[in-house]
């Protein structure tokens, strides 16, 4: 187990940015305090080699520019909010419309475009990096001063644990997530269409052409959205029109206890990733809009170069009373955990 901190470069503002490298057993992960981003996740590849299984950039410049949220801690509200507005306690709030007429992943300058305070330490034998930031009242249109924490740890069983927390001094909405793109073969090596996916989710949330929910919670049965049994991601992707949909995780009860819901297998390497969360939903995105992005090692990330399993509350939930509430009030703590486990 080890923890290393080093420079990751300097922003145009003159602010210094750090890179934190955590090692536990045969797994190594690196994070930057710019955007609380997961920069790399290295797994053994045999003969002393390792493969990086998350898409991203080798330098700070890539993250400081426009990119599709590679590895980012997304907030204040991950996913979309229709017409970039919502009402809370009888008052309407207008958010930045950065996705057509809608609001996406926190706005023009969401949590992924800020430097977070950071500290790295050992916690119960696990190398950990803790990021925190204060989001002021009115930032991107959101009410309330919000204190956010993103804690990333490498567990002794080979899992990456993510604990996200937030508190507020006024009623607000919160939906934090990590937005990593995975490719279990190794970033830049192939597309993810042959990866096999299983999701314990018998319902999903249909969306319109603008990817805003219709309000329905539909069964996946007899549809290309059914991953109740392992299925190649690419087997029905054309019929689905590409995947960028929120799945409702099946639970035995309404408790928010952590529960495993997802498994992904890459057939060539045999690598597996299992995902568990306390959150009610997961956005499965198949990298439909990736197009010739210069990544690491000279890689080019094209369509379907990676997939996301973003654990979260449902999109547009502030405008959908039938969806689980993402409202947080003073005195409450928004606290959730997600684990990505690996076998190789």
Query: How far apart, in whole angstroms, are the C-alpha atoms of residue 34 and residue 118?
Result: 10
Looking at the chain, how many residues does it have?
344
Which listed residue (67, 105, 179, 245) is catalytic? Answer: 179
Cα 52 to chain centroid distance, Å, stands at 17
- H or E, element range at 343: strand 334-343
DSSP, residue by residue, 265-299 = E-TTT--EEEEEESSSEEEEE--TT--SEE-GGG-
Tokens at 153, concatenated: 């740890």
Q: Is 310 a catalytic residue?
A: yes
- Residue 273's φ and ψ, nearest 5 degrees, are -130, 125
Which listed residue (140, 310, 312, 337) is catalytic? Answer: 310
Query: How far apart, in whole angstroms, are the C-alpha atoms of residue 248 and residue 251?
Result: 9
Q: Is 343 exposed, middle or buried (0-12, 13-18, 19+ CB in 10 A)?
A: exposed
Are the beta carbons of 328 and 336 closer than 8 angstroms? no
DSSP, residue by residue, 174-224 = -B-EEE--B-TT-TTSS-STT-EEEE--SEEE-B-TTS-B-S--EE-TTST
Residues noted as catalytic: 179, 310
């Amino acid at each position: 187990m080890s923890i290393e901190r080093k420079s990751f470069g300097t922003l145009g503002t003159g602010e210094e940015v750090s890179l934190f490298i955590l090692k536990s057993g045969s797994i190594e992960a690196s994070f930057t305090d710019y955007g609380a981003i997961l920069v790399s996740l290295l797994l053994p590849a045999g003969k002393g080699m390792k493969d990086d299984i998350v898409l991203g950039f080798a330098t700070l410049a890539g993250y400081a520019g426009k990119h599709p949220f590679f590895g980012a801690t997304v907030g204040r509200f991950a996913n979309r909010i229709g017409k970039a507005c919502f009402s809370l306690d009888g008052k309407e709030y207008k958010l930045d419309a950065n996705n057509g007429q809608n609001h996406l992943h926190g706005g023009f300058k969401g949590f992924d475009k800020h430097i977070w305070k950071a500290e790295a330490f050992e916690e119960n034998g696990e190398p950990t990096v803790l990021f925190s930031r204060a989001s002021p009242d009115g930032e991107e249109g959101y009410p309330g001063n919000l204190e956010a924490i993103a804690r990333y740890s490498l567990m002794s069983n080979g899992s990456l644990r993510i604990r996200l927390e937030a508190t507020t001094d006024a009623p607000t909405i919160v939906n934090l997530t990590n937005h990593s793109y995975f490719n279990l073969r190794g970033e830049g090596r192939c597309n993810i269409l042959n990866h096999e996916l299983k999701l314990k989710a018998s319902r999903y949330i249909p969306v319109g052409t603008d990817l805003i929910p219709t309000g329905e919670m539909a069964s996946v049965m007899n549809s290309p959205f059914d991953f109740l049994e392992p299925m190649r991601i690419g087997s029905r992707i054309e019929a689905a029109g590409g995947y960028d949909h929120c799945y409702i995780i099946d639970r035995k009860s309404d408790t928010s206890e952590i529960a495993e819901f997802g498994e992904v297998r890459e057939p060539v390497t045999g690598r597996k990733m299992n995902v568990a969360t306390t959150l009610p939903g997961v956005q499965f995105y198949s990298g439909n809009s990736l197009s010739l992005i210069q990544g690491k090692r000279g890689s080019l990330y094209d369509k379907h170069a990676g997939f996301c399993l973003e654990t979260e509350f449902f999109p547009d939930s502030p405008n959908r009373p039938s969806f689980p509430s993402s409202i947080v009030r003073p005195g409450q703590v928004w606290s959730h955990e997600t684990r990505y486990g690996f076998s190789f």
